[in-house]
A = this chain, B = another copy of it.
Amino acid sequence: MFILAAAGTAAFSNVFPISIAIVILLAIVALSYEQTIHAYPGGGGAYIVARDNLGELPAQIAGAALLTDYILTVAVSISSGVAQIVSAFPTLFDYRAVLAVGLVMFVMLVNLRGVKESGMTFALPTYFFIVMMSITVGLGVFRYFAGSLGIVVNPPEMDIIHTVTAVTPFLILHAFSSGTAALTGVEAISNGITAFKEPRSRNAGITLIWMAVILGILFLGISFLASQIHAIPSETETVISQLARTIYGSHEVLYLGLIAATTVILIMATNTSFADFPRLSALLAVDGFLPRQMAFKGSRLVFSYGIVALSIISSLLVVVFNASVNALIPLYAIGVFMSFTLSQAGMARRWWKIGHLKPGKEIKERGSTLRNEKRWEVKMVINGFGAICTLVVMLVFAITKFSDGAWVVLILIPLIVVGFSSIHMHYRGLARRLSLENYAAMPRIARHRVILPLSGVHRGTLAALRYATSLSDDVTAVNISMDPADTEKLKAKWDDWGEGVRLVILESPYRTLLEPLLDYIEEIASQRQPNEIITIVVPQFVPKRTIHNLLHTNTAFWLRAALLFKPGIVITDVPYQVD
């Protein structure tokens, strides 16, 4: 609508036809994905389908496109939700970015606590939204036929700067590609099959078709009514808000009901990303394309790293784009259609392989099993046609939206793929260097020397001393002396309690703590014989309250940081719980 509005009211009559074209595309993609759902009962996201059928690079591209889109989904959904809020409460307009980041953090915390994917929490707002939106569209259509719809009162000012005058095919395509953002829910169902009840594939398939039908009807209804009432696309008031106040007139409650339902549904829309981004990151991490820790769940049984990463990156985006939906949208759909295309192309390839399978033979792939199926040609054509359609849309998008921001994504996705590859190379290189092939077992440890740094003689030190003497007979206690009087006292105490262990005093006239100790350790280390190992046993108090740790030198931590790269030095802290 934005784009057509820029071309003047004449172009506005194109809103409805373009919407119909978008709905047809939705139908094609939904049909094609319905097949994916049945082929991949364990979850058939674009990454898995591309990996199994097209190879590593297409899979990585699909993965990068999807990660980008999950991030953008969060940024766009939250920004849209905030746009609804500021439509109803214009005084909040200046705080859009703050509101949006706050909402992202809220959704992050909810997800870190762990949410049930199904259940009333999600169903209720969804039904509420569908009901409210159906009432709005139904009443609007009724008023249209009754001739009492009218046009929007006090429309917001149009805030487009570059007005285009001619309705060119480019313009139409531009508008079309903007509208296709409505299709992005399709991939989510395909990815989340395991969340459905058994028979999963069947239920997911039915859901997909229902979703497409409801979405199609509401989308057509809204775009038809919006063009009838001459709604003005604007940053300050959403089209939904203009539509609702035109249809409901003075019925404030219904207006606020629709705005609230839309806001909630948009915020909940991010939850798809909060479920799928960490899940996909974990898949990529298991395959060695992302840091390995992303593959593990935390104590709340959620992939915490993924959730936090998604929240931070999408908050940054929201801040950079000041929560402007119109600035974020151009970045959005290109990745969706890239993954659509790869996924459907992978499916087409899969049908081809199935068609050329020997009768009765089965091939087990990672995500699915290939076995003979009837009418594989029809299915291949459906997926293939879907792939071609989405490829065309992607190209249209890349060309028409290039200067609006699509170039960012076209640079970002290759960069992410390069990132995947370099992480993969690191892990492979590491595995090679750690490999036990042609590896001669290390000789036993010949000598084990233990160094025990002390700041005083007390119960904590004695616990560490007891541990140190259990490791080896060769223990040296070391004290950094800053004040001669204190050192004398320490020596006297050590004579009583030190169990005869040698005590070395290191002078530190400038009150440095770590440096004299490090010098001493390095001197000892340089005089080592082969297969001699040094353990530094650091006494460590554990205060009852964590905050009190700020009052203690974390010597073990700093030693570890300083000595990490020296082979054959092990640092152990012996905790002493002060009760």
A residues in contact (CB < 8 Å) with B: 282, 291-293, 295-299, 301, 423, 426-427, 430-431, 433-436, 439, 441-442, 444-445, 448, 457-460, 462-463, 466-467, 470-471, 493, 497, 510-515, 533, 535, 541-543, 548, 550-553, 560, 564-565, 567, 569-579
Contact = CB atoms under 8 A, between A and B. Distances in A.
A275 to B, nearest CB: 15
The list of the 4 closest CB pairs from A to B, nearest first, reads: A434-B458, A296-B513, A572-B572, A293-B553
Given A510-B301, A564-B575, A467 B533 contact: yes
A448 B458 CA distance: 23
Given A430-B541, A512-B299, A466 B445 contact: yes
B572 A296 contact: no
A430 B512 contact: no
A122 B298 CA distance: 54
Contacts of A513: 293, 296-297
A553 B296 contact: yes
A450 B250 CA distance: 75
- What copy number does this chain have within its complex? 2
A393 to B, nearest CB: 36
A575 to B, nearest CB: 6
A510 B564 contact: no
B565 A577 contact: yes
19 contacts: A282-B511, A291-B552, A293-B513, A293-B552, A297-B513, A299-B515, A301-B510, A301-B512, A426-B548, A430-B541, A430-B543, A433-B579, A434-B460, A435-B458, A445-B467, A467-B533, A470-B533, A535-B572, A569-B575
A298 B445 contact: no
Nearest to A461: B434
Contacts of A297: 510-513
A552 B292 contact: yes
A513 B298 CA distance: 7
A539 B11 CA distance: 67
